Amino acid sequence: MTRRPGRTRIAALLPTVCATLAALTLALTGTAQADAATRQPAPAPAPARQAPPARSSGTAARVWAGTANGTAVQLYDCNGTAAQQWRAGAGSSLRDPASGRSLDATGNSSADGTRLQLRDCTAGANQAWKLPG
């Protein structure tokens, strides 16, 4: 079944997806307790793992049809496909194994409803994922 969720649903779930992806990053890199100023170089990337569901919604972040810069990342029903696989990158980035590109918040924004995309890895703040608080 190829159902596309509405924009309202995506916008409402974006903060949850960001937190979930951040938790995955921290779990894979083991830097949950590290202070950014004293952080040691990240270990070799962990094997690709499926992005966890956004709480109890049964959805996961997936790359939408492509590997180029600007390719959309959206919430979609968890199905275990390669489009829902993510790898911990340098620092606190998440990488798509198929393209080698990072999960990127468009417009360098962290506001609710910010669109996510694939983009060449830059180590910018819009490609750093961490748990709030």
CATH code of the domain in which 72 resides = 2.80.10.50
- 15 inside domain: yes
Q: Give 43's pLDDT tier (boundaries 50, 70, 90).
A: very low
**Residue range(s) defining the domain that contains residue 73:** 7-30+46-121
pLDDT in the model for residue 87: 86
Give yes or no for residue 71 having a pLDDT over 90. Answer: yes
- 127 inside domain: no
Residue 106 CB contacts under 8 Å (≥ 6 apart), including other chains: 114, 115, 116, 117, 126
- 14 inside domain: yes
Average pLDDT over residues 99-112: 89
Q: Are 83 and 69 in contact (CB under 8 A)?
A: no
Average pLDDT over residues 101-124: 90
Task: Count up the domains in the chain and report the number.
Answer: 1
% the chain with pLDDT above 90: 22
Q: Give 8's pLDDT tier (boundaries 50, 70, 90).
A: low
- 40 inside domain: no
- 38 inside domain: no
How much is the pTM?
Answer: 0.56
- 131 inside domain: no
